Amino acid sequence: MAEKKSNLYEESLRPLKNAADILNLESDIVEALSSPERALIVSLPVKMDNGRIKVFEGYRVRHNTARGPAKGGIRYHPKVCLDEVKSLAFWMSIKNAVVGIPYGGGKGGITCNPKEMSLGELERLTRGYAAAIARCVGPDQDIPAPDVGTNAQIMGWFLDEYLKISGKYDAGVITSKPLSLGGSRGRNTATGRGVFFATLEAARVFGIPLKGARIAIQGYGNVARPIPVYLHDLGCKIVAVSDSVGGAYNPEGMNPMKLADFKAKTRSVKGFPGSTEMDTADPLTADCDILIPAALENQITEKNADDVKAKLLVEGANGPTTSKADKILYEKGAIVVPDVLANAGGVTVSYFEWVQNRMGYYWSDEEVDEKLKRVMTDAFKDVYQTAKQTQIDTSFAKQPLKVDMRTAAYVTAVRKIVEAMQALGRI
């Protein structure tokens, strides 16, 4: 009997079904793409600092491995659940196919609050999780990495536990490690750098001059922090930035280096000298040319999409735009570079790390950056051509594209995955 899909997972599959309609895929192929290959649930008893035993629940989902080993991060967060991990693993299959790296999709997570745990508790939890899923991961089958609530140190603990169990040194089992353990140069800024390259290509293709372009950014964490520096160096004006506390607005532009220093000292961009204070969500509807939503999911909805003034949106966050908002933005002529393309720089450099681990030869910062730019630029061109050429009725929209860029990205990815599954005889 087929597994009943939750609303959460079902929502994540909507773009897949749109792409399947365009590609004229049979329903059984869509069902195969909609079902993860493996979903593992593990129980993790951990001795806490107070001497008590607390049991955590962990997950590892492998969505599709037709194009290569599963690849995707490990998330530590109180709201982690199986359906969320399944959705994230599916998105990783799409993202890896969009940028053409030879991976399928995977994801893992533990339901916990890492902010309330000591380093010792986190280490014991991580080692327990690594031991529990060790038989299911490896450089040729499933390669984890950090995600929300995890970092390079946690990857180091995971690697150590895996190496003890496997009995051999193979750094390629996990990526985004410290440099001393075989991590890649350029990984810390890779996601933001990828968003920057996607923005450059989109601005070029859609005729948006970058010199003097007004930039608004929602979210000022690890992904977004380097982006305003890159764009400012090209003559852009950073007019609005926000974080979880609040935001700063200056129509004349703000210096991103000084903004970063202010954030480091005060833990927020709110109150930046010379700026007007704004709420966290205000950059989404600020008067700007380019908007980069890089905070949380579901930030642009049917309630505020009409108020978005940006000509170009480049998604640094995962799922910041709802499907209903997508339709509104498309019909009013705004271009959205979707998350599965725009923020794929992180997994791309993780792939570079895996390649370097397997070769035992490591690249310079310049080599990594050059290769990342090539991957992001080529992927953008593929999706853009699909968006221009797909034949559907667009007479109702003020658009230069036949379909929106998100649908085009899914069409591009699904076509690659289906071709691989057919070549293997799986469908």
DSSP for residue 13: T
pLDDT-derived band of residue 399, with 50, 70 and 90 as boundaries?
low
> Residue type at 11?
E
Count of beta carbons in the 10 Å neighbourhood of residue 213: 20
Instruction: Confirm if 330 and 399 have CB atoms less than 8 A apart.
Output: yes
Looking at every residue in the chain, the average pLDDT score rounds to 92
The catalytic residue among 71, 95, 107, 270 is 107
What is the reported pLDDT for 86? 94
Q: Are strands 104-111 and 237-242 parallel, antiparallel or unpaired?
A: unpaired
The listed CATH number (3.40.50.460, 3.40.50.720, 3.90.25.10, 3.40.30.10) that belongs to domain 190-339: 3.40.50.720
Exposure of 80 in the CB half-sphere (CA atoms within 13 A)? 28
CA distance 255 to 133: 46
CA distance 291 to 308: 9
Question: Domain extents for the chain?
Answer: 37-170, 190-339
Alpha helical stretches, state H, 207-246: 227-233
Q: What is the pLDDT of residues 85-135, one digit of tens each?
A: 999 999 999 999 999 999 999 999 999 999 999 999 999 999 999 999 999
Among the listed ranges 18-22, 65-69, 132-136, which one has the minimum average pLDDT value? Answer: 18-22
21-294-214 Cα angle (round to 5):
105
Q: Are strands 142-143 and 70-71 parallel, antiparallel or unpaired?
A: parallel
* pLDDT of residue 425 exceeding 90: yes
Q: What is the mean pLDDT of residues 203-216?
A: 94
Beta strands in 206-283 (DSSP E): 214-218, 237-242, 247-249, 276-278
Q: Residue written as tokens 């990815």?
A: 413
Known catalytic residue at 107: yes
CA distance 222 to 337: 20
Domains 37-170 and 190-339 share a fold: yes
Strand partners, 47: 53
**Superfamily of domain 37-170, CATH level 4:** Leucine Dehydrogenase, chain A, domain 1 (3.40.50.10860)
